[in-house]
């Protein structure tokens, strides 16, 4: 039973990572950070790093891989937001 829930947890984290993809695509297409909260996505990224560290400490590969996938997609949103915000503020 534990293995089933471990698998479902990993699947849920993968779905969590996928939820950031539409925002990343919208940012990339629009080339603007307007309407995107840097505090929110930056905060998510920090929490995902903490989740990875926690997973390493507990040798929980589902948590490590799921949080790493989320960090990749959320980090993309965070990075694009920073890039477009700097461009907008310099203009």
Express each pLDDT in 46-81 by its tens digit. Answer: 999 999 999 999 999 889 999 999 999 999 999 999
User: pLDDT higher for 11 or 54?
Assistant: 54
Q: Is the pLDDT of residue 5 over 90?
A: no
Residue 64: per-residue pLDDT: 94
Highest CATH level, class, for 2-90:
mainly alpha
Q: Which residue has the higher pLDDT, 3 or 34?
A: 34
C-alpha closest to that of 38 among 89, 71, 80: 80
Give the model's pLDDT for residue 62. 87
**DSSP code at position 11:** H
> What three-state secondary structure class fits 35?
coil
Domain boundaries, given as residue ranges, for the chain: 2-90
Q: What is the pTM of this model?
A: 0.90
- State the average pLDDT for the chain: 94
How far apart are alpha carbons 20 and 52 in whole angstroms? 17
């Amino acid at each position: 039973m534990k293995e089933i829930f471990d698998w479902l947890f990993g699947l849920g984290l993968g779905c969590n990572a996928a939820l950031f993809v539409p925002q990343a695509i919208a940012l990339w297409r629009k080339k603007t950070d307007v309407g995107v909260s840097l505090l929110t996505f930056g905060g998510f990224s920090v929490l995902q790093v903490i989740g990875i560290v926690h997973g390493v400490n507990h040798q929980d590969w589902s948590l490590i891989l799921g949080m790493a996938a989320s960090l990749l997609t959320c980090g993309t949103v965070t990075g694009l937001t920073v890039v477009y915000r700097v461009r907008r503020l310099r203009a």
